[in-house]
Amino acid sequence: RLELVESGGGSVQSGGSLRLSCAVSGSTYSSYCMGWFRQVTGKEREGVAGIDRDGSMSYAESVKGRFTISQDNAKNLYLQMNSLKPEDSAMYYCAAWTTFGPGRGCFYGDRWLTYAHGMDYWGKGTLVTISS
């Protein structure tokens, strides 16, 4: 079983930066895909940035060039968010999942972005608020 604990959320002005962290613990966590999702009240939870076990990454179009996902040797997960916009305001969640199956990897094209219902583990979230 994995435990995921997010931190680093807060309130900043538009154009500012935040760095989210996700502390990962538990057995066999190295075999999981990892990523960040976000959710606004009343909307579906959506993928933001993901990282495969080999270090390859995937981003939602809306955050490409502004957000960077990374992972340290202890498999803790980070999300550097720059040039933040009011529409980035949301609860941000750390997630872990197994692959989509043989030959499909962690992302299976971009299917993982809308696959929140298939995630194996979630953190409790950290709130990000961007003011204009």
| Tens digit of pLDDT at every position of the chain (132 positions) | 899 999 999 999 999 999 999 999 987 666 899 999 999 999 999 999 999 999 999 999 999 999 999 999 888 999 999 999 999 999 999 999 999 999 999 999 999 999 999 999 999 999 999 999
CB neighbours of residue 43 within 10 Å: 9
The strand pairing partners of 107, in sequence order, are: none
How far is the C-alpha of 67 from the C-alpha of 11, rounded, in Å?
17
